[in-house]
Chains A and B, each alone.
Chain A
Amino acid sequence: MLPVLLWLVVLIVLPHIDLLIMSFRIETDDGRMAWSLNNYLSFFEEPIYWLTFVRTALYSILVTFLTFVIALPLAFYITKVVIPKYRGFLLVLLLLPFWVSELVRVYGWMILLRESGVINHFLLKMGVLQQPVEMLYRDTTMVLGLVYTSMLFMVVPIVSVLESLDDSLIEAAYDLGANMWSILFKIIIPHATPGIVSGSIVVFMLTLGNYLTPNLMGGKNSLWFTEQIYNQFIASFNWNQGAAFGFLLLALSSLVVWVGLKLTRQNLQKVVQ
C-alpha cells in the first residue's frame, strides 16, 4: 500500500501541482517571484505560440484520422479475410516493428527520404527524376512519420473488437442485398466503435506529445508544440513560461480524452482493458 501511494503522490500528483503553481509565477524585475497570469497572457499575445498550438492540434487530428483510415481495412483483413492459419503470424509481424525504438524507425525514414537517400537513388537510376528531390523536412513527411509511429495503437484495438463481430451478421446483410459500403457503414463501423475510439484517443495523445518525429522529420517551419516547451525549458531557461505551455498541452490532451470518452459513453477503465 505505502510504496504504491508514494509512487502516485510523489511522482504523479505533486509534480503536476508544482507544474500548475509554477505556471502562475513570474520573475519580477527585482528578481523576486510573484503570482501572475503573464505566462498565459503571453501565450495568447504571441501569435507564434498559439499558432503552433493550433497547428499541433489540427495535425494531430489529421494524423489520427489517417491512421484510422489505413488501420481499418488492415484490421478487417486480419480478422475476417485472411485464412485463420496465418492470422497469428500476421499479428506478430504487425507488432514487431513497434518494439524497436522510435528513434531507429525515424532514422530509417530519414535514410529513405533525404536528398541523398535510398528512394532518390532509385528514382534517379530509373530515370524518373533528373535531379534529387529533398523529401525530408516537409509537413507531409512529418505526417507520414507520425502515422507510421502510431499505427499499432490503432490496429490492435480495432482487431480486438472486430474479433467479436459475428460473421453471420455480415452474411445476413449480404444475402439481403446490401452492398459493400452499406455493410461497412451500418455493421462494421458501428460494431467497431469502442475500438476505434480507444485507438483514436491513444493515437491523438501520443501524436500531440510526440517530440522526436516532428523534430527530426519536419522542416524548419513545422514547429510542434512540444518543441516550444523544450525551447522554453532548455534554450530560454524560462521554466515558468514552459510550465504554462506544458499545462496547456496537458489540458488539451485531457480534454480530448474526456470528450472522446463522454461521446461514446465509456470510461477510462474499460478503454484501458
Chain B
Amino acid sequence: MATSLTFYANRAYDKDSHKGLILTGIFLTTLFLMNQLDWMKLFKVKQATLKTEEKLGELFWEIFKDNGEEVSDTLVIHQHQQYRECYVR
C-alpha cells in the first residue's frame, strides 16, 4: 500500500516537475527571442537619452547663470583653454 502510494506520488511529482521545466523553458525561450530584437533602436533610446542630456545641460546652465556670474574675460578664458590643451587630453 505504502509502496504504491509512493509510486503514484513520485509519478505525480515527475509529471509536475516536467511541466515546471516546460514553463521555465517557455519563459526563457520568450526572453531569448525578445533579446534578438533591437529594442534600443526601436524605442530610440539613444536619441531620447541625448535629448534628455541636452535639456538637463541647458537647465543646469540656466541655474548656474542665475546663481553666479559668468566670466567673459578673454584672459581667463584663454588661460583656461591653454590649461585644457596642456593637461586635458
User: Do A and B come together as binding partners?
Assistant: no
B interface residues (Cβ-Cβ under 8 A, vs A): none
